Structure 1
Amino acid sequence: MTEAIAYDVIVLGAGPTGENVADRTRAAGLSTAVVESELVGGECSYWACMPSKALLRPVIARADARRTPGLRGAVQGPLDAPAVLAHRDYYTSHWKDDGQVAWLDSIGARLYRGRGRLDGPRRVAVTAPDGTEHLLTARHAVAVCTGSRAVFPDLPGLDTVRPWTSREATSADHVPGRLVVVGGGVVGAEMATAWQALGSQVTVLVRGGGLLPRMEPFAGELVAEALKEAGADVRTGTSVTSVSRDGTTLTVEVSGGDRIEADEILFATGRAPRTDDLGLETVGLEPGSWLTVDDSCRVEDSSWLYGVGDVNHRALLTHQGKYQARIAGAAIAARAQRVPLLETDRWGAHAATADHAAVPQVVFTDPEAAAVGLSLAEAERAGHRVRAVDQDLSAVAGAGLYVDGYRGRARMVVDLEREVLLGATFVGPGVGELIHSATIAVAGEVPIDRLWHAVPSYPTISEVWLRLLEAYRDA
């Protein structure tokens, strides 16, 4: 191993979270090294957000066109699957990271390719692909931004059938004739939507009572209804008991004794932190554990170690990881420059406050589902005195103009003591573009009587805000 090289900050992981930590610390004048064992750009760029949305966009566009007068007859027939896959490949830069590497170089961050492991306090050992080793030391901070990975259930022989995770589902180079999707969360719902539309016969197996269990129940109900109408088989209360492969054919046995034949099977059943081979034990932490952090993303009981993004388990979403990265980068820079952090300032530059109460998410199914903050059940469990206000989106003029036969629903959850929004959920075509207004209302704790004066443009789907506020006022 060569002589140790010192930097102000070392970032482990070059996904969107790590890139943003590096950007903020470099902007503050700190020397920064970034260590990445795979592609610069991370999961989001190559196996998650970007490829999944590239697969889904033609699906949603066709669905909307088929519900639009004058276009319905022009979009009959199947999707051009090779063209959709080529579009996906373009948005993943064909799984090459030259552009992202060039961006890191442009901000003055030093990239080390290879496996990085903690080697005691403020030390990182890097083993390059060719076996070369480097020892890096951090004057101020090491930020762990290594993300999360898919996990499989404990099924005997599962590794012998070549199951898909989200990575294989978003990067497959062909359309499987029959696809079983295990899990009803975001990945399961989105990938079922995409591959059914691209020509697969999809069977969705959900152990619980419905899809999208972390959202309001009506979200999963509407998405499941649309999947069934598209030809998918959606089974709830169903668990996989065994999987085997004979040549190219999979046999999936489920609770109750039924057997399903398929060509591929996707397990979208949970995530685990990528911290199992990170050297956490050298700094007194449990390998493979989620990192417990404060609102500046600094690991508890540490003065120099940060856990940013998925690894802290606060919100496993790219946009929230980037938000945390901006917070952590500002905190690292302030501490390095001995600038007092306003620790008591809940909405200051060094506190990831929105990760507690205002986390937005969009599920790009048909229909789209979007939510921020607390659901009604979550708010009630937290002890809030609340009221849910519901609105059928088909009654909004802008929705009817958007597509014929618009089906959707909206809900806002109101804290009755403070008269502010604790959460909002929208389901329907195009609602992903509504969620930021709801996020501002929840994060900013905008009073209901002030929201009344935020006039929505007519005729847009956002007029649902007026209908929701009217329903609250008139009840």
Structure 2
Amino acid sequence: MTEQSMDEFDVIVIGGGPVGENAASYAIAGSDRTAVIVEHELVGGECSYWACMPSKALLRPGDVLDIARHMPGVKELLGDKTLDVDAVLARRESFTHSLDDSSQVTWAESAGISVVRGHGRISGEKTVDVDGRTLTARHAVVLATGTTASVPKTPGLREALPWISRDATNIHEVPARVAVIGGGVVASEAATWLLAFGAEVTMIVRGSRLLASGEPFASDLVAEALRSRGARILFDADLTAVSRPDAKDTGIGRIHGGPAELTVDGQSITVDEILVAAGRTPASSDLGLSTVGLDDRGYVETDDHLQVRGVPWLYATGDVNGRSPLTHMGKYQGRVAGDVIAARADGKPLNGKRFTASADHGQVPQVVFTPLQVASVGQTEKLARDAGIEVEILGVDIAVAGSSLQQDNFSGHAQLVVDTASDTIIGATFVGPGVDELVHAATIAIVGKVTLEDLWHAVPSYPTVSEVWLRLLESRRA
């Protein structure tokens, strides 16, 4: 085999997270095609080591403790005991493999996918430069580079070496006092486990509510739940300056120096660490996009085949395309893109729904894990009305036999957004303990365009929390 042929592959994927892995594996499945993943950090990506997996590993023990504290026969055994933080962190390490990606590399190789370490950058048509080594694709190049955490240019903030999401999920030292800058998913989830670990948490939120893209009632319930656990939440807050004279780079998840002083609305707040959870930036600035006539700033726009507009051999999947910045949606896009690449390589038409990404158009499910889970899919009431859709809102508290059996302090609310013209659900939100498993039924109803008349015959099992579906239907029976 010549050196040139060793660097030729049918598909090159830049980015080795679950999105890129899906794109590569689907593109070569059941064929003799070859694929390579180019990754400059860890194979497995953000989700495996710095986002989904470690964050949920940190959150779950607090959920279990809360359930136990409100379960007669169990709460008496606990007394005033709190979490064993060292044990929680050890379990987290079991999921992140202490940032060792060897098992992910082994999986890729077992699936017939080569792995090349280094920074991948497009250098021409179907070519990718990896630190001076040139890889050539016969069929396609896929971008799956994701996003990186943004840190605002507030005076003194960057110099203070604040934590970002990677520090929070790979926490090794628990600060006594933490300022969380932001009110979105990362901020709300991190505040949840920091409170469970015993930290004093102050959330500094520029807007007027948490989880601002969701339903207002969900925001209110989450804020109430965080406050009940000790969080201080400052809404419409203006952070104007940060001072931390002895900031030190002590490593991910370790306290970065001495106390920091934050000026918020003219008042001073002193904390031991700052967590910035103020948005993400697409990792597209150093991908060589300008070499093929594309803008190398911002999100990479695609069509519904995930093909980059104007470049038929280039695809963008996951967060970098800005369509739906969630791991499961990125993996979905990776599957679609892989199937499209495979079909085109085989000279087959792109017939069939699986070759077109449609789920990220108003059918996106998401679960936010705070003291109360927020499980949602589809459009909010506001989005629907802004789009000119005439809607009916069905909302009930989650108070059924299944919820009362789950835990004594169960409190939650459910809401459906119904398109009155078609009598189908176009949005759903569930808030409460353990409601994450309710959202898939709503997703199926939305994707399948199931009418409410038909949903009367989808009978929920008794006694489960799913019985709230019946209560929702009954709420419009009159």
Coarse TM-score class (shorter-chain normalised): over 0.9
Q: In the alignment, what sits opposite 2:55?
A: 52
Alpha-carbon offset, residue 357 of structure 1 = 1.5
Alpha-carbon displacement from aligned partner over 1:48-95 (angstroms, at most 9, x marks no partner): 000000000001111111122212222332211111111111110110
Q: In the alignment, what sits opposite 1:22?
A: 24
Q: In the alignment, what sits opposite 2:199?
A: 200
Q: 1:98 aligns with which of 102, 106, 111?
A: 102
Alpha-carbon displacement from aligned partner over 1:306-342 (angstroms, at most 9, x marks no partner): 0000011011100000001110000011111110113
Q: 1:66 aligns with which of 48, 65, 69?
A: 69
1:304 aligns with 2:321: no
Tell which deviates more after alignment, 69-78 or 165-174. Answer: 69-78
Counterpart-to-counterpart distance in 1, 2:259 and 2:94: 31
Q: In the alignment, what sits opposite 2:254?
A: none
Q: In the alignment, what sits opposite 1:167?
A: 166
Q: 3-state SS of the aligned residue for 1:357?
A: coil
Q: In the alignment, what sits opposite 1:130?
A: none
Counterpart-to-counterpart distance in 2, 1:405 and 1:363: 20
Counterpart-to-counterpart distance in 2, 1:58 and 1:280: 43
- Conserved? CA contact 1:161–1:250, under 8 Å: yes
Counterpart-to-counterpart distance in 1, 2:91 and 2:387: 44
Q: 3-state SS of the aligned residue for 2:355?
A: coil
Q: 3-state SS of the aligned residue for 1:354?
A: coil
- What aligned pairs does 1:79-90 form with structure 2 within 5 A after superposition? 79-90=83-94
AA matched with 2:19: T
Q: In the alignment, what sits opposite 1:232?
A: 231
C-alpha root-mean-square deviation of aligned residues, in Å?
1.1
Counterpart-to-counterpart distance in 1, 2:242 and 2:40: 32
Alpha-carbon offset, residue 451 of structure 1 = 1.0
Counterpart-to-counterpart distance in 2, 1:201 and 1:28: 53
Q: 1:40 aligns with which of 40, 43, 67?
A: 43
AA matched with 1:249: P
Alpha-carbon displacement from aligned partner over 1:373-420 (angstroms, at most 9, x marks no partner): 001111101111001100111x21111111113111000000000010
Counterpart-to-counterpart distance in 2, 1:301 and 1:452: 47
Tell which deviates more after alignment, 8-17 or 286-295. Answer: 286-295
Q: In the alignment, what sits opposite 1:284?
A: 293
Counterpart-to-counterpart distance in 2, 1:174 and 1:289: 34
Q: In the alignment, what sits opposite 1:176?
A: 175
1:375 aligns with 2:385: no
Counterpart-to-counterpart distance in 1, 2:237 and 2:76: 38
- What aligned pairs does 1:241-256 form with structure 2 within 5 A after superposition? 241-247=240-246, 248-255=258-265
Q: 3-state SS of the aligned residue for 2:91?
A: helix
- What aligned pairs does 1:273-352 form with structure 2 within 5 A after superposition? 273-342=282-351, 348-352=353-357
- Conserved? CA contact 1:357–1:443, under 8 Å: no
Alpha-carbon offset, residue 421 of structure 1 = 0.4
Q: In the alignment, what sits opposite 1:120?
A: 124
Counterpart-to-counterpart distance in 1, 2:141 and 2:262: 44
Q: In the alignment, what sits opposite 1:261?
A: 270
- Conserved? CA contact 2:305–2:340, under 8 Å: yes
- Conserved? CA contact 2:160–2:242, under 8 Å: yes
Counterpart-to-counterpart distance in 1, 2:66 and 2:229: 10
Q: 3-state SS of the aligned residue for 1:112?
A: strand
1:391 aligns with 2:396: yes
AA matched with 1:69: P
After superposing on structure 2, the runs of 4+ consecutive aligned residues of structure 1 that deviate more than 3 Å are none
AA matched with 1:20: N
Counterpart-to-counterpart distance in 1, 2:423 and 2:90: 49
Tell which deviates more after alignment, 150-159 or 138-147. Answer: 150-159
Q: In the alignment, what sits opposite 1:454?
A: 458
Alpha-carbon offset, residue 3 of structure 1 = 4.2
Alpha-carbon displacement from aligned partner over 1:338-380 (angstroms, at most 9, x marks no partner): 10113xx6xx010111110210000111111110000111110
- Conserved? CA contact 2:178–2:271, under 8 Å: yes
- Conserved? CA contact 1:39–1:97, under 8 Å: yes
Alpha-carbon displacement from aligned partner over 1:183-232 (angstroms, at most 9, x marks no partner): 11000000000001101100011111111111111111111111111111
- Conserved? CA contact 1:290–1:313, under 8 Å: yes
Counterpart-to-counterpart distance in 1, 2:262 and 2:382: 34
Q: 1:363 aligns with which of 350, 365, 368?
A: 368
Alpha-carbon displacement from aligned partner over 1:248-303 (angstroms, at most 9, x marks no partner): 01001112x11111111111111111011111111111113201111111011121
AA matched with 2:177: R
AA matched with 1:147: G
Please list every run of 5 or more consecutive structure 2 residues that lacks an aligned counterpart in the other structure.
Answer: 247-257
Counterpart-to-counterpart distance in 2, 1:246 and 1:141: 50
Q: 3-state SS of the aligned residue for 2:477?
A: helix
Please list every run of 5 or more consecutive structure 1 residues that lacks an aligned counterpart in the other structure.
Answer: 128-132
Alpha-carbon displacement from aligned partner over 1:134-170 (angstroms, at most 9, x marks no partner): 1111111100000011111121232221111111111
- Conserved? CA contact 1:26–1:107, under 8 Å: no
Counterpart-to-counterpart distance in 2, 1:364 and 1:240: 26
Aligned pairs, number:
462
AA matched with 1:13: G
- Conserved? CA contact 2:28–2:342, under 8 Å: no
Q: 3-state SS of the aligned residue for 2:244?
A: strand
AA matched with 1:408: G
Percent of aligned pairs sharing the same letter: 50
- Conserved? CA contact 2:243–2:260, under 8 Å: yes
AA matched with 1:231: G
- Conserved? CA contact 2:155–2:240, under 8 Å: no
Counterpart-to-counterpart distance in 2, 1:330 and 1:437: 26
Alpha-carbon offset, residue 235 of structure 1 = 1.2
AA matched with 1:399: S
AA matched with 1:48: A
Q: In the alignment, what sits opposite 2:251?
A: none
Alpha-carbon displacement from aligned partner over 1:82-124 (angstroms, at most 9, x marks no partner): 1111111111011000110000000111110001100011110
Q: In the alignment, what sits opposite 1:12?
A: 14
Alpha-carbon offset, residue 28 of structure 1 = 4.2
